[in-house]
Amino acid sequence: MLTFAAAVFFLIITPGPGVLSAAGVGAAYGVRSGMRYVLGLFIGNNLVILAVITGLAALILANPIVRTVLFALSTFYLLYLALRIAFAGSELAFAPATTEPGVLNGILLQPINPKAYAVNTALFSGFAVMPDAVLTEAVWKLLIVNAIWVPIHFVWVWFGVRLKQLDLPAQLQRRVNYGMAASMLLVVGLAVIAEI
């Protein structure tokens, strides 16, 4: 289970739409709004986990047309996010919103978040630790994933709040934006390579 926990940590902490948007909500609206948004992401992520565990995600994605359309939409969404971050000028921009996102916004992001499916599929279909007790294994994995997932997302909210409070010079803010955009492009590149 330690190998599984390490995999969870490294797969979740890397920038993706969920953690980047959590940082953005923290930067734009503060800790309370960030916590409400993360609650939504948490619910949405657990819905994705249930879809992966029950095979519903595999059933839907088994249709090549549906899979291609969802892959294209997800890829374009991630590219859009990366470009928006990179060209945000001197302002800190993770995933800016014009209205304060809440729980529902967090829930709705996860079903279109390709990283959520990729990570949860890898975690729940791999790392067989109790092959004779599949349900027990799924419950333990769910507990471990959430025990690691929750603090990581709160750290990203805190990161966004702290960056906003630092009032960094414009040049350094641009570098932060470029680094975040590069991370998003890496996610896009890995997704495209995996699909080929």
Q: Is residue 69 part of a domain?
A: yes
Domain count, the chain: 1
Handedness of CA 20, 24, 25, 27 (dihedral sign): positive
Q: What range does the domain containing 35 cover?
A: 2-8+23-74+90-166
- pLDDT for 191 equals 64
Q: Is residue 117 part of a domain?
A: yes
Q: What is the pTM of this model?
A: 0.76
Helix axes 170-195, 17-29, angle to 10 degrees: 160
Per-residue pLDDT of the chain (196 residues; tens, 9 = 90+): 788 888 888 888 877 778 888 887 787 778 998 899 999 999 999 999 999 999 888 887 788 888 788 777 777 776 776 676 666 554 555 555 456 778 988 888 788 777 888 888 888 888 888 888 888 999 999 999 999 999 999 999 999 888 878 877 878 877 876 776 677 677 667 666 766 6
Q: Is residue 115 part of a domain?
A: yes
The torsion angles phi and psi of 55, rounded to 5 degrees, stand at 90, 0
Q: Is residue 36 part of a domain?
A: yes
Q: What is each CA distance from 185 to 82, 84, 85, in whole angstroms? A: 6, 12, 11
Rounded CA gap, 121 and 192, in Å?
A: 17
